[in-house]
Amino acid sequence: MIQAAPDFMEKHPRRKNFWSRTVRSDPGRAVRVLSLNGLNDETVEGDTGWDGVYVIEELQDLAREAKSQTWKGLVNAGVTVALCKCALNFQAAVMHKHTTQPNQKEADKVAKDMYSPYFIPFEIMSNAMATCAIPPTATEKRFAEDIKKHWSTVMQRVWSEPARSLEVEPKQTRFKERIVVPQVASRVVLIDPSFLDTIFKPADLTLPVVFRFWMHSSGLQDTRMALSLLSPIIDPSGPPENWKAHLTKKPAPPIKDLLPRLFLGASKTAGSNKKRTPGQTADAVVSASARHLDELDVGDLSWEYNFFHALFTHSKEVNRVFNRAVYKSAKFWAANVSVLRRAAKHNGPNREGIYMSALNTFTAMMDVVDNDGKDFMDALVYNWLSAGIFDALEETMQTCLNAPRGPMVLAGVITALDRYQPQCSAKTRKLFRSELPRPVLVKRLFVLSSFASVGTENTENDPAVMARKAAGIWMQRGWQTLAVLALRMADPDDCTRRTCENKRSAEAEEKGLFVCEKCSMVKYCSDECLTSDVPNHSHVCGWVHVARPGQPGPRAKSDAEPASIAASSQSDSPSPETPTISTSDEGPSKLVDLD
C-alpha cells in the first residue's frame, strides 16, 4: 500500500491537464518521467515518479492512434524503451488517502481485481502495434527495434512473476493480461521478422511464457492469440507468409530444441515455484487441451485441434511422455467424444471439419501406441469406451458419413478397437462387452454400403460415383469389423443383450431356450432380455449369419418355442439366403437422413 501525498487529490486536476498538454508538446519530458526509478526521484524539470500516473494515462489514449505525429514524436523520444523499463520495474500498489489506513483485508480485495504490474505498459505497446502503419514506416521499425532490444529481459520478469495473470477471475481482466504478450510479439514479427531470432534464442522465455498463457486461457480471445504465435512454430503446415523469407535465410532451431521450451511453460504449478515432474507436466498439458475442448465453442476448435496434433506428432520423437499422457487421460477422451456430439449439432460452416478433427484424433493414436506397449493400448481402449465412443458414433452417424473421408476414418476407429482388444485387461474386456453388440450402428453401415454401388455400373469415370463406391467399401469394412468384434468379445454362454452380465444357464442351453427363433443365432439369459432387446436385434436379425460363417441359418418357427424376437418385431426380417434391406424406411431417399 502507498500513502498518497497530502495534496495529491488537490493537485490532481491541474496535473492531469498539464500532462495532457505536455505529453503532446514535449514528449521527451514525458519519457524522462517514465525512466525514473522511484516515486520520489526527480527529472531535471523537477517532475517526480508520481507524475508517471498521468503520463501513462495519456499514453493509453495516444497509442490507439499510432500513425499520428504525436506518437511518432514519442517513439523518437524513446517511449518504447521507457515502456519496456516500466514493464520490468513497475510494482502493483494500492494508493490510499493520507488520512486513512485501510486494513489488509480491504487492500487484498482491491488488489484481487488489479492488473499485473507489467500489464499497462504492454497494453500501450499492444495498442500501438495494432494501429501502426503496415507496411511499416521508420517509426514502426524503430518501435520494433527498441522492443527487440529489451524483450528477453522483460520476458524473464513475466515468467518469474506471473502475478495474477494465470487466474480465471475477474475474467475480463485476466484474459487481457494473457493476450498482450503474444499480441505484441506477433505484431513485432510482422514488422520485423528478425524478431524470431530473439524468440528462438535458447535463453529467451517467450515460448514458455506464451505456452503457459495458452494453458491457462479461458476463452477464444486468449487461446487464439497464444496459438497465433505458437502454432506456426510447430505446425507441419508451415509458417505464415511474412515469416517465410526470414526463415529461408535463417531457419528456426530443430523441433527437438523448441518443444522442450514449450513444455517448460507447464513445468510449474500456477502460484508456486514447485517444479512438476515430466509426467506431471505432460498430464497438465493434456488436461489443458481437454479443458479447451470442453469450454470453447465447438466452431472455434480448429486451432486447438491443429495445435494438439502438432504437439502429438512431434512428441513421438522428442517427448514420448506426452503421448503416453494422452492415452491415459480419461478427461481428454471424454472431451473429444463430446466434440463429436456437439459438432454434429453445430450449424456453422465448419461443422464437418470440426467433427473430422475429433474423429481423426482417435486414429492418430494408431501405430504410435503400438510402440508404447500393452498397458498403454489397454488404457487407450478403456478411455475410448468409458467416454462413450459407440454411443456417440450412433448419435452422429449422419454427420460422419456426410463428411469427406468420414467412412474411411470411422472404419479406422473400429479397426483400431478390434486391433487392440487382444491386449486388453480383464477390466477393459468387461467394459468392452458391456458396450457390444451395436446392431443399430451395424445396420446403418450395412444399408449404406449396400446402396453405395447401386446404379454405378456405367459411370466408373465419374469422381462423385467413385467417391461413393469408395465410401461403400469403407462402410462395409466398418460393419463387418464391428459385427465380428462383438463376437470376439462375447463368451459362448453370454447373454446377447448389451449391458447384461448374466450367463445363460445349462438348462437354457440344453433346451434351446431364449433364442431368437427367426435367426436362431442370438441367445439370451432370460425371456425378459430377449423381449427387451427387440428394438436392437431386429435391425440385424435377418442377416446376422453373414457375420457368423459356418453357423446354421434361421429355423422354422415352433409353437413349443418361447416368444421370439421375430414374433415381437413389427416388420419381417429378410431371408438370410438373400440378405436385403427393406427400403420402406431405409431406402435411397433416406440415405442422407439417418439420425
* Distance (Å, whole) CA 451 – CA 471: 11
User: pLDDT at position 560, please?
Assistant: 33
Tens of pLDDT, residues 281-290: 999 999 999 9
Looking at the domain assignment, is residue 266 inside a domain? no
Q: How far apart are CA 276 and CA 292, in angstroms?
A: 21
**What pLDDT score does 60 carry?**
96
Say how far apart CA 257 and CA 426 lie, in whole Å: 41
Q: Is 98 part of any domain? A: yes
Using the 3D structure, point to which of 202, 227, 252 is the last residue of a domain. 227
User: Which residues are 268's β-sheet partners?
Assistant: 275
177 found inside a domain? yes
Residue 336: count of CB within 10 angstroms of its CB: 27
Choosing from 227, 247, 274, the residue where a domain stops is: 227
* Environment class of 175 (CB within 10 Å of its CB; exposed 0-12, middle 13-18, buried 19+): buried
Give the DSSP letter of residue 543.
Answer: G
280 Cβ contact partners less than 8 Å away, ≥ 6 residues apart = none
Q: Is the Cβ–Cβ distance between 412 and 365 less than 8 Å?
A: no
Assigned domain for 22 exists: yes
Looking at the DSSP bridge assignments, the partners of residue 494 are 503
Residue 391 falls inside a structural domain: no
Question: Residue 497 is part of which domain span?
Answer: 444-590
pLDDT of residue 61: 96
The 3-state DSSP class for residue 316 equals helix
In a domain, 182, yes or no: yes
**3-class secondary structure for 96-115?**
ECCCCCCCHHHHHHHHHCCC
CA 88 to chain centre: 33
pLDDT tens profile 476-486: 899 989 988 98
Which of 330, 341, 258 lies closest to 287 in space, CA to CA?
A: 330
Inside any domain, residue 272: no
| CA gap 115, 163 in Å, rounded | 9
Query: Domain end: 179, 212, 227, which one?
Result: 227
pLDDT in tens, 291-331: 999 999 999 999 999 999 999 999 999 999 999 999 999 99
How many other β-carbons are positioned within 10 Å of the β-carbon of residue 17? 11
Q: How many domains does the chain have?
A: 2
The per-residue pLDDT string of the chain (595 residues; one tens digit each, 9 = 90 and over) reads 455 555 555 567 898 999 999 999 999 999 999 999 988 899 999 999 989 999 999 999 999 999 999 999 999 999 999 999 999 998 865 555 556 677 777 767 777 788 999 999 999 999 999 999 999 999 999 999 999 999 999 999 999 999 889 998 888 889 899 999 999 999 999 999 999 999 999 999 999 999 999 999 999 999 999 999 999 999 867 788 889 999 999 999 999 999 999 999 999 876 677 899 999 999 999 999 999 999 999 999 999 999 999 999 999 999 999 999 999 999 999 999 999 999 999 999 999 999 999 999 999 999 899 999 999 999 999 999 999 999 999 999 999 999 999 999 999 999 999 999 999 999 999 999 999 999 989 988 888 887 665 555 555 565 655 566 778 888 989 998 998 898 888 888 899 999 899 999 999 998 899 999 888 888 999 999 999 998 888 888 877 666 554 444 444 333 333 333 333 333 333 333 333 333 233 332 223 333 3
CB 47 within 8 A of CB 33: yes
Report CA dihedral (305, 350, 449, 490) to the nearest 10 degrees: 40
For position 167, which CATH number holds?
A: 1.25.10
Contact 497, 506 (CB under 8 A): no
404 falls within a domain: no
Q: How far apart are CA 557 and CA 48, in angstroms?
A: 101
Residues whose CB falls within 8 Å of the CB of residue 374, separated by 6 or more in sequence, listed in order: 423
